[in-house]
Structures are given as structure tokens and as C-alpha cells.
Amino acid sequence: MAQIMNDISRTFNEYLLIPGLTTKECVPSQICLQSPLVKYKKGETPTIRLNVPFVSAIMQSVSDSKMAIALARNGGISFIFGSQSIDSQAEMVRRVKKFKAGFVVSDANLTPENTLKDVVELKNRTGFSTIGITEDGTSNGKLLGIVTTRDYRPSRDSMDKKIKDFMTPFSKLVTAQLGIGLDEANDIIWDNKLNALPIIDDEQNLRYFVFRKDYDSHKENPNEMLDDHKRLIVGAGINTRDYKERIPALVDAGVDVLCIDSSDGFSEWQKNTIDFVRERYGDSIKIGAGNIVDQEGFMYLAEAGADFVKVGIGGGSICITREQKGIGRGQATSIIEVARARDDYYAKTGVYIPICSDGGIVHDYHMVLALAMGADFLMMGRYFARFDESPTKKLMVGNNYVKEYWGEGSNRARNWQRYDMGGTDGLKFEEGVDSYVPYAGKLKDNLEVTLGKIKSTMCSCGALTLPELKEKAKITMVSSTSIIEGGAHDVILKETQG
């Protein structure tokens, strides 16, 4: 007969945190939410560390380049969805890597012989308002001038007007030589009241721009996730079918970390994918794997070489894997068991492999519970799908604004590779639904509220860091009646004025 596990499969709803001693030092402004994203050896530091323990889910309705930019600027990262063509996914990665950089390669260039019409068309197509005018119209050609929106008036100037007749010529530009440091470049921008500083080489060839907005942006977003070249960090989801073609394209685009996207990660297909990465790139390319729900699954992926392991099957708000296949486990139980396995593995090998809690988060306090139970970071879909930055439409349904949200296992996404069990291609049956989520506004505004709640809860637990939270947190199970007691009860609530 089958192996029967008598432990009850439990969810976050069944637990609460018990307060610990809140010391004078334990105030929200002192809380550190940094957490490792990828594995590291004892005594070393991880090559990628999150400034807030959030990543956005590998979903069409959640993680595109816009979401990736917004989340990286606020301390987390996105894994851009892989259920699209290789070229389009790689292009999304490139957009993120090019969005924020101390030294930006110019992607908008024309020649002096081009016209105002060309300028307007280029601006409309790319969104760039600073255009490098080079001898041959390339990004690294000899710099002859620049054009910004201050140089022309489309309502009055002729569309046939040559760029050479209205551009700011090189002789009037403030430039800097290749090799200058970013701090010094920003000083020149500040001292000369510039919006953009062209960086040229000894032959007067345009090499980079440094933008004032990037400096200002970083000051407004101190938690930005940046690589060694001051570019935003971005991840990408992959599958176990076309990885030999997809991974090289994503690496070429500049991806920082990969994650195998699968509803069931306890699979030889995942080991094969990790083997390909290690054979081709060694440890220079980081790759996460999953999803799993127990110690055995974690150990398999740890031994396979995964840089982090995702935990959770069937707990997502749009996931119906448990309903369709009877496969899965309560998210709280899964995290507790896998966290113990991770800690045992660390004690035996000296290698710490972070675990990611994927699914089961309904309330903000569930996030703290997941982290206290042992998760190093959280992957969320529904949470991020509600924001302006998600790629879906904002609609009015009834009297409320909503955003579309669908699962990768839904007929709409048709991401059959995520549920691949071998055999012929195609989605055999649906493991996700098509739905709406309440529209919530900007990511930054909502994230600040959520992080405020997490920090406040950590203060009540007497923990200043996430490792301290794991060590000090006291967690109790709750009864169904105590859950009722925890909400508003035995009063008549006032109706809110719309």
C-alpha cells in the first residue's frame, strides 16, 4: 500500500505569531530585510542578495519588463515569464538591463542629414527623448551633436527640417572622456545643470550617456537591486524543453539568474537542465529549481546543483493542481519540513541553499509567518498582479476597478511546458484559472505599506533581521473559533463613504 503520512497538511491561516520581547533598539527603521537569493558557502556571502525578500512570479499576467524594473528599483527582483518566444523574452531582459545604468549605451541615434520627422518617429517608437547625433547614425559613431525635446517644436517646425539645422552641435556640448568615474560624471551633470552627459573616447566617438534621472532615481530608491555595472538585476523563467536554445539567448541578453518554472520540480528533467547550465557556464550562471514540498524533493534538487529551491504545489490563488490531480501539500507544512532539510544540509555540507515560498500567501501577516517558518524569500503572483506595473488590463467590473489575472496552467496561458510530464506537446488539462484581482495602484505605494507591516511584526517578535526572526519567532496553532475572534466581531460596522 502507499506510504501514509499522518501529519496534517497545514496552511498559514492555521498559525499566529506570539510576541517576543521588543527591545529599545527594535524599531522599524532598524529592521533589515536583506536575504540571500542564491546559495553560498559558510563564511562567504551570496553573489545575489535581495534587499527585500520578494520576487514576482513567473507568469504572463505578472512579470514582464515593466514589473521587473519597478520591483528591482524597490529591492526585489522579477522572473520574466518564459511562456513566450525566446526572442521576446530575451528582449524583455535587455529592456531591464538597459533601463538603469550609470553608463548607458545610446539606443536612439540619427545622423545630421535625418529630419525632424525621423526624430519624432524615433521618440515615439523608443520613448527616448535624448538622441545622439553621430556621423553614421550608430551608437558608437563620431559624436556631432545631440537632440532633445528642447531643440524643436513639432507644432511649428517643418517635419522636413534637417537635424543639422536644429541640433545642439558638439562645440556647445559638455562632454566627458571615457574612463571617468560615475561619481565624477554626476558632479559634472550637477555643476553644469545637465540632463545628460555624453561620454566620448579619444576619437570623439560616442560611447555612453550618463543621465541625471538615473542619479535622482537611485536617491529615491535606495534599495535598488544593481549589478556590478550599476544595472538593474533581473531573472527569467525557463522550461525543461527548449532550455538549450533559451538559456544562451537569455545569458546573451544579460540575465542575472534563471529559474526552472514547473508545477512539479522533483524530476529528472530539472536535473538535466541544471546539468546543462553547469557544463556550459559552470557556477557563473545562477539557476533555481522547483517546485517541491518535502525533504526528499529538496535533497534531490540540492544534490542536482540548484542555487535555490522553490517550495509549494497547488497553493496559488489561481492554481487548481490539487483539485485536478490530488497533488500538493499545505504551504505551511511544506515550508517547515523543507526548511529543516535546508538547515540539515547546511550543517552537513557548509552550503546554504535558500528556499523560496511560492503560493499560499493571502494576508500580509502570512508573509511574516512564511519567513519565520524558514523561507528566505517569497514568490508572489496575485500580490503583484494588482499593481499598475503588471502587464494586464485594468477594467471596471461592477463598480470596482480590477486587473486580469490568469494562471500559467489556464487555457489562456497554455503554458504546457510548465506541466510537462514528457510525451507529446500540448496542454492536456487545465491546472489554473482565468480571473480578476482588485486593482491596487502603484507597486511602490503598496509595497511600502506591506513592508511597514512586516517590520512592525518583526519588532513585536523582537527580531531585527530575518535570520533573527527564524531563530526567535514563536508560532502557535489556532482553532477555527480563534480565527473568528481575530477579526472584527460582535459590532455593527459603519459603512465606508465612497
Catalytic site residues?
319, 418
* Cβ 335 vs Cβ 375: under 8 Å: yes
Longest CA–CA separation in the chain, Å: 85
* CA distance linking residue 139 with residue 157, whole number of Å: 26
Q: Which of 132, 162, 136 is nearest to 148 (CA)?
A: 132
* Cβ 74 vs Cβ 223: under 8 Å: yes
Beta-ladder partners of 133: 110, 145
Helix (H, G, I), strand (E, B) or coil at 238: strand
Q: How far apart are the first and last CA of the chain?
A: 59
Q: Are strands 286-292 and 15-18 parallel, antiparallel or unpaired?
A: unpaired
* CA distance linking residue 238 with residue 107, whole number of Å: 27
* CA distance linking residue 376 with residue 413, whole number of Å: 29
Q: Which of 295, 287, 325 is nearest to 311 (CA)?
A: 295
Tell me the Ramachandran region of residue 291: left when phi exceeds 0, alpha when psi lies from -120 to 50, beta otherwise. Answer: beta
* Cβ 81 vs Cβ 63: under 8 Å: yes
The number of residues in the chain equals: 498
Beta-ladder partners of 235: 79, 257
Cis peptide before 195 (omega within 30 of 0): no
375, containing H or E segment: none
DSSP label of 257: E
Helix (H, G, I), strand (E, B) or coil at 16: strand
Residue with cell 545642439: 168
One-letter amino acid at 33 equals L
* Cβ 389 vs Cβ 66: under 8 Å: yes
SS3 helix, strand, coil % of the chain, rounded to 5?
35, 20, 45
Q: How big is the chain by its Cα radius of gyration, in Å? A: 25
